[in-house]
Amino acid sequence: MSTLADSIEVATAPTTPAAPRLRPALVDGQRVWVECEEWCVVDHVAENERFLVDVTHAGAAVDLLVPRQNGRLQLLASARILASDSGSVEEREPMVAVDFQDVESLYLSPSEAVVAADRLVEFEARLRALARVATVV
Ligand SMILES: [Zn+2]
């Protein structure tokens, strides 16, 4: 049975930050261990970086794709979380990078426009989710 003392203990438990996630990386041909965020999907061993500060962390891409008449999908924008191990403390904080494709005009049928609108809403929600994940607490 839970007592008042138990609930006070839970409520005042110190919030200790999670231990850093260490993952292997290849730097100048040497295998080293780097701190890597939970959201990072980069295989740091696959890329042989020259210096430790060249290690860059990236999350999975969130893409905005719209259907075209030829049945193919066209990429309009792509967003992901990035963080670098170089620079000042502020420069190392995660940021959300959004790349917009060079699309001059997009002529959509009404049905394509409806799908595009749905995907814009979904992209917006996922972009907000990336911002929440990238926010340093
Ligand atoms: Zn990483």
Please enumerate in sequence order all residues whose Cβ is within 8 A of that of 81, keeping only pairs 6 or more positions apart, or say none: 37, 39, 57, 58, 59, 94, 95, 96, 97, 130, 133, 134
Question: pTM of the full predicted structure?
Answer: 0.74
Residue whose structure tokens are 């905005």: 64
pLDDT at 15: 53
Domain limits of the chain? 19-134
User: What is the distance in A from the centroid of ligand 1 to the CA of 58?
Assistant: 6
Q: Under DSSP, is residue 35 helix (H, G, I), strand (E, B) or coil?
A: strand
Please enumerate in sequence order all residues whose Cβ is within 8 A of that of 67, keeping only pairs 6 or more positions apart, or say none: 73, 74, 112, 115, 116
pLDDT tens-digit profile of 83-98? 988 888 888 889 999 9
- Per the CB < 8 A criterion, the answer to whether 44 and 36 are in contact is yes
The DSSP secondary structure of 89-110, one letter per residue, reads HHHHS-EEEEEE---S-----H
Q: Residues lining ligand 1 (ion), CB within 5 A?
A: 36, 40, 42, 57
User: What is the distance in A from the centroid of ligand 1 to the CA of 53?
Assistant: 12
User: What is the distance in A from the centroid of ligand 1 to the CA of 104?
Assistant: 35
How deeply is 94 buried, as exposed, middle or buried, from its count of CB atoms within 10 A (0-12, 13-18, 19+)?
Answer: buried
pLDDT at 102: 83
User: What is the distance in A from the centroid of ligand 1 to the CA of 92?
Assistant: 12
User: What is the distance in A from the centroid of ligand 1 to the CA of 11?
Assistant: 33
User: What is the distance in A from the centroid of ligand 1 to the CA of 86?
Assistant: 13
